[in-house]
């Protein structure tokens, strides 16, 4: 079961004393443990024990699991890094069948995972999907008495890179950004407030520029570029962004022409966000494969030129935009 299913059915722990948790999101793992402690533990010093698999005292955990709880409803044992757990089979069975609630934390499906899984309640704490993440962001702002629209919550999620494939960005990072943004005096959190709070005043225009270029809208591309210019942005950062855009569009176009669904395309390109992959798929329709490859090469050539020669970078980027939007 997943995170939401588990927290709604914590009473399952009344009869399932062994729980295997495959965790890819530390924030959710800490939340689950906190909920279990709140439900069962009254004296953390006496009735709660957390150990690492590499530093286990067998007698200590056996005595802990077999002794009665002192002041709590149940004892709770947490074993981290359980993939490398090396306990005598009899001791492991004694722990699993004891009255103490034992939580085995796994990083992946290797080592002891399958063996313990067969005797435990299975919980998988994956990273939140986009729709759930946006709802979570809105709720977190509400906890600060701040209001944020779905579109602005989605914008913050996009900035966070949380949904990107293999992203190391966790909910702790998103939560830290929310806390920083919520410190503003503004009651309503908009894209502008997000940019100001996170010190990325030009990020919104960067996304607008990439979107306009992808849609081959020359007028809008130039307007956005001039706005970036006036704001004092480092124009040298614009070309790599455009290079990356056409690199992704090339890959998306190729996989779409192979007949692959959006979900598979996102996996192969390395993008977890359904919103972003849908946007790239839509943008790729404005070009054929030859034009996409040609534009990528133009971006790379421009980047190589200004890195190796003394040029007027502002004019070079303007000319590049003219070429890309043909």
Helices (H) and strands (E) in the chain, counts: 17, 7
| 61 and 16 share one domain | yes
Which CATH number fits the domain that encloses residue 208?
A: 1.20.272.10
Which CATH number fits the domain that encloses residue 137?
A: 1.10.8.60
Structure tokens at 51: 């150990």
Q: Sign of the CA dihedral 122, 128, 134, 139?
A: positive
| 226 and 318 share one domain | yes
Phi, psi angles (nearest 5°) of residue 50: -125, 125
pLDDT tens figures, 249-299:
899 999 988 888 888 888 888 777 777 788 888 888 888 888 889 989 999
Of 86, 104, 125, the residue at which a domain comes to its end is 125
The Cα–Cα gap between 227 and 302 comes to: 21
| 147 and 48 share one domain | no
Of 71, 95, 125, the residue at which a domain comes to its end is 125
| 112 and 13 share one domain | yes
Cα dist. 211→96, 206, 216 in Å? 54, 9, 9
Give the predicted TM-score (pTM) of the model: 0.61
* The pLDDT value given to residue 201: 44
* The pLDDT value given to residue 138: 96
* The pLDDT value given to residue 231: 63
Of 173, 197, 221, the residue at which a domain comes to its end is 197
CB 275 within 8 A of CB 130: yes
CB 104 within 8 A of CB 116: yes
Mean pLDDT of the residues in the chain: 86
| 139 and 121 share one domain | no
Q: Cβ neighbours of residue 57 under 8 Å, at least 6 residues apart?
A: 51
Phi-psi map region of 275: left, alpha, beta (phi>0 left; psi -120 to 50 alpha): alpha
* The pLDDT value given to residue 35: 92
CB 61 within 8 A of CB 98: no
Length of the chain as a residue count? 326
| 152 and 77 share one domain | no
| 192 and 218 share one domain | no
CB 96 within 8 A of CB 117: no
| 158 and 219 share one domain | no
Print the domain residue range for 40: 3-125
| 93 and 138 share one domain | no
Q: Could you say which residues of the chain have pLDDT below 50?
A: 201
Number of domains in the chain: 3
| 192 and 245 share one domain | no
Phi, psi angles (nearest 5°) of residue 22: -95, 110
| 269 and 167 share one domain | no
The Cα–Cα gap between 267 and 189 comes to: 31
Q: What is the largest CA-CA distance in the chain?
A: 77
CB 162 within 8 A of CB 58: no
| 176 and 225 share one domain | no
């Amino acid at each position: 079961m997943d995170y939401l299913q588990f927290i709604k059915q914590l009473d399952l722990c009344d009869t399932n004393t062994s729980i295997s948790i495959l965790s890819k999101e530390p924030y959710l793992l800490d939340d689950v443990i906190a909920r279990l402690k709140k439900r069962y533990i009254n004296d953390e010093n006496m009735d709660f024990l957390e150990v690492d698999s590499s530093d286990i005292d067998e007698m200590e955990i056996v005595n802990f699991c077999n002794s009665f709880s002192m002041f709590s409803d149940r004892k709770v044992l947490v074993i981290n890094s359980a993939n490398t757990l090396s306990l005598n089979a009899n001791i492991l069975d004694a722990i699993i069948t004891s009255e103490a609630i034992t939580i085995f934390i796994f990083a992946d499906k290797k080592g002891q995972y399958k063996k313990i899984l067969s005797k435990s309640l299975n919980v998988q704490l994956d990273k939140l999907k986009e729709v759930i993440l946006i709802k979570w962001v809105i709720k977190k702002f509400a906890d600060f008495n701040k209001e944020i629209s779905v579109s602005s919550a989605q914008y913050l999620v996009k900035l966070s890179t949380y949904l990107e494939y293999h992203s190391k960005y966790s909910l702790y990072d998103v939560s830290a950004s929310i806390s920083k943004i919520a410190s503003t005096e503004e009651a309503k959190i908009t894209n502008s407030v997000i940019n100001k709070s996170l010190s990325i005043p030009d990020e919104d225009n960067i996304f607008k520029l990439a979107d306009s270029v992808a849609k081959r809208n020359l007028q809008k591309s130039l307007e956005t570029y001039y706005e970036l210019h006036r704001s004092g942005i480092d124009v040298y950062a614009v070309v790599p962004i455009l290079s990356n855009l056409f690199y992704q569009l090339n890959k998306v176009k190729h996989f779409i022409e192979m007949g692959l669904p959006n979900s598979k395309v996102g996996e192969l390109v390395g993008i977890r966000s359904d919103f972003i992959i849908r946007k790239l798929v839509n943008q790729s329709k404005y070009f054929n494969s030859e034009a996409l490859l040609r534009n990528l090469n133009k971006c790379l050539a421009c980047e190589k030129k200004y890195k190796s020669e003394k040029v007027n970078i502002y004019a070079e980027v303007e000319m590049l935009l003219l070429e890309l939007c043909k």
